[in-house]
Amino acid sequence: MPDDEVERWLAESNLPLEPVTRRVREVILAADSRMTEYVKNRTLTFGYEGDCAGFVQNRDKKRVSLMFNRGAHIPSAFPHLEGDGPTARFMHFPDVAAVDAVADELRTVAVAWCELQASGGDA
């Protein structure tokens, strides 16, 4: 069942690429029952035992950007996680087809986050 706070955020945000945002949301939430969603720092955030990822640059009309706050700490290599800094990683989606093309990887990232957190990992 959709969270009222999240649905209100989606309705009020008037996102240029709302269908893309909603598809990313569906994939992440379906990946692992431990993953939750909430509004934090004025954006939709996903987490389990800590923040996993949140949408950034919500006004971009060319792509949806999802920032994995501590993506560098998620074990395994994920070819579509971008970034080389010490902590954050990003995935970008110009349309729903792009989300669907990497949905398996996005699901695996979400599960890996939950497993890391459940094991008391360093993220």
**Tens digit of each residue's pLDDT (9 = 90 or more) over 89-111:** 999 999 999 999 999 999 999 99
pLDDT of residue 122: 61
Structural domain includes residue 99:
yes
Structural domain includes residue 55:
yes
Q: Tell me the whole-structure pTM to 2 decimals.
A: 0.91
CATH number of the domain within which 73 lies: 3.90.1150
Please state the domain count of the chain. Answer: 1
Report pLDDT digits (tens) over 29-62.
Answer: 999 999 999 999 999 999 999 999 999 987 778 9
- CA dihedral sign, ordered 70, 102, 4, 48: negative
Q: Torsion-angle region of residue 23: left (phi > 0), alpha (psi -120 to 50) or beta?
A: alpha
Structural domain includes residue 123:
no
Structural domain includes residue 52:
yes
Residue 68's H or E segment, with its range, is: strand 64-68
Structural domain includes residue 73:
yes
Structural domain includes residue 14:
yes
Specify the 3-state DSSP secondary structure of 106.
helix
Q: How far apart are CA 75 and CA 96, in angstroms?
A: 26
* Mean pLDDT within 20-30: 96
Structural domain includes residue 24:
yes
Specify the 3-state DSSP secondary structure of 93.
strand
Domain carrying residue 111: 4-118
